[in-house]
């Protein structure tokens, strides 16, 4: 097998394993793909405004309102009014994505990162640089 083919196979395996791990975590937690994405975005930006969350998720204003209301109803989120403008609200997590069972949503990339530490630094650096260059070349063509 040629090196490019071997690399494509490895990338395909990585993507499939990541997908499978996230699907399993979502199923065990009882959250949809959109709900998991919302939780992750809110974890990355605590206090996010619904309009900003809408933009990150690519849903309508009504869709994000329904989503947030549903997650609040399940005890996963809370909404706080802005202290300066009561028309604005901010969304926060009520669960800790770094603790069980919620950490399962982020376990795969953390485990991969941990496993990469056992590889020689120059190998990991060269692989990252090569993948970045290839991705940029392909992105420029699309």
Q: Which domains does the chain have, with CATH numbers?
A: 1-30+98-142 (no CATH), 31-95 (1.10.10.10)
Write down the mean pLDDT value for the chain: 93
pLDDT of residue 4 exceeding 80, the answer is no
pLDDT in the model for residue 2: 78
Distance CA 142, CA 138 (A): 7
pLDDT band at 86 (very low <50, low <70, confident <90, very high): confident
pTM of the model: 0.79
**Across 39-53, 89-103, 111-125, least confident range:** 111-125
């Amino acid at each position: 097998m040629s090196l490019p083919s071997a690399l494509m196979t490895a990338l395909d395996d990585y993507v499939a394993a990541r997908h499978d791990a996230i699907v399993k975590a979502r199923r065990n937690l009882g959250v949809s793909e959109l709900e998991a994405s919302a939780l992750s975005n809110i974890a990355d930006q605590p206090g996010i405004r619904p309009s900003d969350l809408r933009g990150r998720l690519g849903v309508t204003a009504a869709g994000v309102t329904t989503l947030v209301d549903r997650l609040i109803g399940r005890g996963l989120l809370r909404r706080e009014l802005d202290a300066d403008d009561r028309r604005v609200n901010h969304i926060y997590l009520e669960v800790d994505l770094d603790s069980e069972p919620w950490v399962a949503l982020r376990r795969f990339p953390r485990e991969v990162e941990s496993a990469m530490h056992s590889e020689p630094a120059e190998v990991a650096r060269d692989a990252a640089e090569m993948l970045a260059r290839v991705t940029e070349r392909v992105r420029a063509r699309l």
